[in-house]
Structure 1
Amino acid sequence: MEEIMILEFSVSNYRSFKEKQTLSFEPTSDTTNEEYYCHQLTPKIKLLKFAILYGSNASGKTNILRALSFLRHIAIKPREMEDE
């Protein structure tokens, strides 16, 4: 299966997200330990290998994961979405 990587993910009008919220996987300009937390996609593009979601209770952490799960589902199994 081909490797799929997300550069940026935005969601709006979904569960607790009324306004557009964006999760970016592009690293900052800080290069400390970047060999551990960055993946060199192309000579010009680096992506974070992981992200950490933190926040108070009921701040939307689970809803962003649900939105990402929905994206994964429609990307991997688009035919099933047509049947629903």
Structure 2
Amino acid sequence: MQTYSCFDILSHNPNGTDKFIEVRTTKLAKETPIFFSSNEYQFSKVNNDSYHLYRVFDFAKSPKLFTVNGDFDSFCRKEPVQFKGWF
């Protein structure tokens, strides 16, 4: 499977290495599920040391933020919610 660059912001760590930042925002609670593509998932696996998720929640009332580092498997459970079929 081919992977693509799937992140919102390319930043750099103090030592000059890349920092890939994905931002997900919701007006709902911290625990509100996020949706991500197969490409985003694979990119996080390949770049797990440099991949960061910035989660903004309660955006409409009192915005808050937390961050996690690593691949999606390291910071959340996942559930398939869509299928693709070929003929």
TM range, smaller chain: under 0.3
Q: Which has the higher helix share?
A: 1
Q: Which has the higher strand share?
A: 2
Bigger relative contact order, structure 1 or 2 (CA pairs below 8 A, ≥6 apart): 2
The alignment's TM-score, normalised by the length of structure 2, stands at 0.25
The alignment's TM-score, normalised by the length of structure 1, stands at 0.25
Q: Which has the larger radius of gyration?
A: 1
